[in-house]
Homo-oligomer: A and B are copies of this chain.
Amino acid sequence: MTTTIPTPKFLSVLDGETAKNPPIWFMRQAGRYLPEYRAVRATEPTFIDFCLNPEKAAEVTLQPMRRFPFDTAIVFADILLIPQALGQKVWFEAGEGPKLGDLPSVESMRDLTGQAGQALGAVGETLSRVRSVLEPDRALIGFAGAPWTVATYMIEGGSSDRSGARTYAYQNPEKLDALLSVLVDATVDYLSMQAASGAQALKLFESWAEGLSEPLFERLVIGPHKAIVQGLRDRGVTLPLIGFPRGAGALVETYAREVPVQGVALDTQAPKALGLAVQKTRTIQGALDPLLLRAGGDALARRVDELLEQWGGGPYIFNLGHGILPDTPIAHVEAVLARVTGK
């Protein structure tokens, strides 16, 4: 007698199926809005050390899965682990966001790209731990920051309005292309390791796709994303991929046409028509405003219904358009889950 292992709904939908009630998870669902997260976080003074501690990272990855009926867990990690693995110092100062040390030479970073997965093996260990205890009908996602987004931090030494990085792209095109190429290779190695460690889907976070002209978007976003997909396929990684070009506006359609990912995550602004256009060839994910989730009330309920109505007729994964905010009431998360799951 064989036991049938159910395919997680998240993976069926990412494969193109339409679910009566869409699968749901939230970006940054393992985070500060949960008191149990804050309790574990308080045991580790350094944020990077926290991300690279498999026991603690697995625990916070699982916390929202215990508390809520989310369909999908996402490994707790940070998009700035890659610069760290490439020899650029990264640290977080309370209330100030990330800080990065001097940008290493491209040559020195290139020597390290093939060891990015190994250097960040702790993230693989987190994935293995989570996968071993997560119910079989719930999926586990791995992720990485996309090259341009990671490069903006590496070039500017921290958070910024990205104008320094965009100026660098105009004034030092060869240097920037070399940096992006290094990041593509490191990301392929890092995500391949995650695929081998229990991840069932992989997501690329291009958090800063906004404000780029079409030629820059082609060069800084579409090119590197295509190269990563190709690199993963060349390495034999067959997992479904989700791309999130946040802030790309009308260029999301170009992205969906040119980058062979299975899912496209949409940001808060994405209009109904854009989602429907992308949905013709891709699963879409998104796009509830985190500010509305935090605000709650009738406006939240109406918007959830509207999203389900406008996109639920095709392959659709319910999510936010950006990460959940630290001061979001847990009751609002529960209310949205009840509405989306119909339970």
A interface, CB within 8 angstroms of B: 163, 166-167, 170-171, 173, 210-217, 247-254, 267-274, 287, 289, 291-292, 294-295, 297, 299-300, 303, 306, 321
Name the residue of chain B whose CB is nearest to the CB of A274.
B250
Contact assessment for B291 and A269 in the assembled complex, using a CB-CB cutoff below 8 Å: no
Contact assessment for B214 and A295 in the assembled complex, using a CB-CB cutoff below 8 Å: no
Distance in Å from the Cβ of A111 to the closest Cβ of chain B? 30
Distance in Å from the Cβ of A336 to the closest Cβ of chain B? 14
In the complex the two chains form, what is the Cα distance from A173 to B289 in whole Å? 16
Name the residue of chain B whose CB is nearest to the CB of A325.
B163
A270 cross-chain contacts in B, Cβ below 8 A = 214, 249-250
Copies of this chain in the oligomer: 2
Q: A215-B306, A217-B271, A250-B270 are in contact. List 6 more A-B contacts (CB 8 A).
A: A167-B295, A173-B299, A210-B269, A212-B268, A214-B270, A250-B273
With a 10 A CB-CB cut-off, give which of A216, A248, A250, A295 has the most chain B CB atoms.
A250
Partner of A295, one of B171, B215, B254, B267: B171
Name the residue of chain B whose CB is nearest to the CB of A249.
B249
With a 10 A CB-CB cut-off, give which of A170, A171, A295 has the most chain B CB atoms.
A170
Q: List 25 A-B contacts (CB under 8 A).
A: A163-B291, A166-B289, A166-B291, A167-B294, A167-B295, A170-B292, A170-B297, A170-B299, A170-B300, A210-B247, A210-B269, A211-B268, A212-B268, A213-B268, A213-B289, A213-B303, A215-B303, A215-B306, A217-B271, A249-B250, A249-B269, A249-B270, A250-B253, A250-B270, A250-B274
In the complex the two chains form, what is the Cα distance from A254 to B270 in whole Å? 12
Distance in Å from the Cβ of A274 to the closest Cβ of chain B? 5
Contact assessment for A269 and B213 in the assembled complex, using a CB-CB cutoff below 8 Å: yes
In the complex the two chains form, what is the Cα distance from A36 to B70 in whole Å? 61
Contact assessment for A251 and B268 in the assembled complex, using a CB-CB cutoff below 8 Å: no
Distance in Å from the Cβ of A309 to the closest Cβ of chain B? 12
Distance in Å from the Cβ of A173 to the closest Cβ of chain B? 7
Contact assessment for B211 and A269 in the assembled complex, using a CB-CB cutoff below 8 Å: yes
Name the residue of chain B whose CB is nearest to the CB of A171.
B295
A299 cross-chain contacts in B, Cβ below 8 A = 170, 173
Q: A170-B292, A295-B171, A303-B213 are in contact. Are A254 and B271 (CB under 8 A)?
A: yes
A210 cross-chain contacts in B, Cβ below 8 A = 210, 247, 269
Q: A167-B291, A250-B249 are in contact. Are A214 and B272 (CB under 8 A)?
A: yes
Distance in Å from the Cβ of A114 to the closest Cβ of chain B? 32
In the complex the two chains form, what is the Cα distance from A214 to B287 in whole Å? 11
A253 cross-chain contacts in B, Cβ below 8 A = 250
